[in-house]
C-alpha cells in the first residue's frame, strides 16, 4: 500500500464505494417496475441474416433465456447465480432485449418459470418490442395432457410465436420408452397454430423422433465440441448424460452424423458449454458442422461483439457438412 494511503483512509474509501454500489443496485432493482425510469428504444438495424422456421423468419442467432432467468449453468460456482440475479433486473433484461433487436436478433428462446411471460409482455406492449418468443412449457407431459394443453394455450394466447417440448421432458420420455408422448405434445402446439419443435440434450431424442416420424417443425439440440479445459474425459462419457459433470453434448461427432440426415431446421444450444468455449470457436464449429441457428445466452455488454463475430463467421463458412434447412 503506498505511503499516501494509510489503512484508515483505505477503509473509508472502500466503505464509501460499497455504499455507492449498494445504492446503484437498489436503484436498478426498483427500476424494473418503474416505467418512468425504464427507457427502452427499439430501432432494429437488421444486421443478422435470417432463416425460416414454419412461417417465422428467425435470425441466425437467437437470444438465450438462461441468463435472463438467472440460471447460468455455472457449475459449482454458486455465487454466479446470485450475481446474475442482481445484475439482470427487469429493466436490464428489457435493455438487453432491445440491444439484441438493434443488432438484428429478432427471436429469443426461453422456458417459462413464474413471471417470465408477464415480463416479456411488458417489454412488448409497454415499449414496443418486436422480439419473437420461442418458449417451452414446463407443465408435465403426462397421460391426458390436460395441464400441458392448458399451458400451451395460455402461452399462445399471450403472444408466443413458437412452442417446443422442453429437453428435460423429451430426454426423460425417450429414456422411458414414451416417444408417443412427445408426439402428442408436438401435436398440441400445432393444433394451436404455431410452429412446434422438440428440445433435446440426449441425441437419442432426435433419433427416436425421426424413427417414429414425428411431425415436429424444428429441433433445439445441444451441440459443442469437448476441446476445452473442463470438457468431459473419455472415461466420463460411459454413463447417462445427466451424470456427466459440466457438459451438454455427449458425442459431438455422432451429433454431426445424425443431424446430416435431418431435414428439419436445427437450433443449436449450449454451444459455448456455458461460457467455457469462446464465441469465435463455438460459432464456427456449430455452423460449419450443420446447425441452422445458434442460441446464445448473453449479457448486454456481449451482444455487439458476438453479433460481429457471427457475421464474420457466416460470411466465411463455405463447406458445411449439412445443407441449410432454414
Closest Cα partner for 287 from 258, 254, 324? 324
Instruction: Tell me: pLDDT of 21 over 50.
Output: no
With a pLDDT cut of 70, the percent of the chain lying above it is 80
At 43, the pLDDT band (50, 70, 90 cuts) reads low
Side-chain-side CA neighbours of 309 within 13 Å: the count stands at 17
Average predicted confidence (pLDDT) for the chain: 84
Instruction: Tell me: pLDDT of 13 over 60.
Output: no
Closest Cα partner for 65 from 247, 301, 297? 297
Show Cβ contacts of residue 103 under 8 Å, excluding neighbours closer than 6 positions. Answer: 45, 47, 48, 303, 304, 307
At 319, the pLDDT band (50, 70, 90 cuts) reads confident
Distance CA 9, CA 199 (A): 56
- Domain positions in the chain are 32-316
At 289, the pLDDT band (50, 70, 90 cuts) reads very high
Distance CA 166, CA 135 (A): 9
pTM of the model: 0.84
Burial 207-229 (b: 16+ CB within 10 A, else e): bbbbeeebebbbbbbbbbbbebe
Region 22-39 average pLDDT: 40
> What interhelical angle do 179-191 and 146-157 show, nearest 10?
30
Contact (CB, 8 A) for 45 and 103 = yes
Chain centroid to Cα 120, Å, comes to 15
Return the pLDDT at 245.
60
At 235, the pLDDT band (50, 70, 90 cuts) reads confident
Closest Cα partner for 279 from 312, 315, 322, 247? 312
Residue bearing cell 447460468: 72
Return the pLDDT at 10.
33
DSSP 138-185: -S---TT-HHHHHHHHHHHHTT--EEEE-HHHHHHHHHTT-HHHHHHH
Return the pLDDT at 46.
65
Region 277-306 average pLDDT: 95
Contact (CB, 8 A) for 9 and 271 = no
Name beta bridge partners: 133. Answer: 108
Region 95-106 average pLDDT: 93
CB neighbours of residue 156 within 10 Å: 18
Q: Which fold has domain 32-316?
A: TIM Barrel (3.20.20)
Return the pLDDT at 74.
61
Q: DSSP character for 232?
A: P
3-state secondary structure 1-29: CCCCCCHHHHHHHHHHHHHHHHHHHHHHH
Region 180-204 average pLDDT: 97
Amino acid at each position: 500500500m503506498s505511503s499516501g494511503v494509510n489503512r484508515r483512509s483505505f477503509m473509508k474509501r472502500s466503505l464509501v464505494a460499497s455504499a455507492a454500489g449498494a445504492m446503484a443496485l437498489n436503484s436498478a432493482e426498483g427500476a424494473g417496475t418503474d416505467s418512468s425510469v425504464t427507457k427502452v428504444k427499439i430501432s432494429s438495424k437488421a444486421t443478422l441474416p435470417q432463416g425460416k422456421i414454419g412461417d417465422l423468419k428467425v435470425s441466425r442467432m437467437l437470444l438465450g433465456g438462461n441468463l435472463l432467468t438467472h440460471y447460468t449453468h455455472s457449475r459449482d460456482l454458486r455465487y454466479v447465480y446470485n450475481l446474475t440475479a442482481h445484475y439482470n433486473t427487469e429493466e436490464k433484461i428489457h435493455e438487453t432485449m432491445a440491444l439484441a433487436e438493434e443488432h438484428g436478433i429478432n427471436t429469443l428462446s426461453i422456458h417459462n418459470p413464474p413471471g417470465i411471460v408477464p415480463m416479456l409482455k411488458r417489454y412488448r406492449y409497454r415499449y414496443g418490442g418486436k422480439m419473437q418468443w420461442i418458449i417451452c412449457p414446463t407443465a408435465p407431459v403426462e397421460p391426458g395432457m390436460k395441464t400441458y394443453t392448458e399451458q400451451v394455450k395460455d402461452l399462445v394466447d399471450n403472444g408466443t410465436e413458437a412452442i417446443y417440448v422442453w429437453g428435460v421432458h423429451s430426454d426423460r420420455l425417450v429414456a422411458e420408452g414414451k416417444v408417443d408422448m412427445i408426439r402428442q405434445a408436438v401435436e398440441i402446439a400445432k393444433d394451436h397454430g404455431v410452429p412446434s419443435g422438440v428440445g433435446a440434450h440426449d441425441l437419442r431424442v432426435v433419433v427416436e423422433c425421426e424413427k417414429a416420424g414425428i411431425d415436429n417443425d424444428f429441433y433445439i439440440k445441444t451441440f459443442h465440441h469437448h476441446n476445452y479445459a473442463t470438457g468431459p474425459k473419455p472415461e466420463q462419457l460411459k454413463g447417462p448424460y445427466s451424470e456427466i459433470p459440466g457438459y451438454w453434448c455427449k458425442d459431438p461427432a455422432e451429433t454431426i452424423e445424425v443431424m446430416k440426415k435431418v431435414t428439419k431446421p436445427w437450433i443449436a444450444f449450449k454451444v459455448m458449454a456455458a461460457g467455457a468455449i469462446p464465441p469465435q470457436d463455438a460459432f464456427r464449429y456449430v455452423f460449419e458442422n450443420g446447425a441452422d441457428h445458434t442460441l446464445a445466452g448473453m449479457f448486454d455488454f456481449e451482444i455487439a461483439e458476438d453479433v460481429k463475430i457471427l457475421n464474420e463467421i457466416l460470411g466465411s463458412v463455405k463447406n458445411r457438412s449439412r445443407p441449410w434447412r432454414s
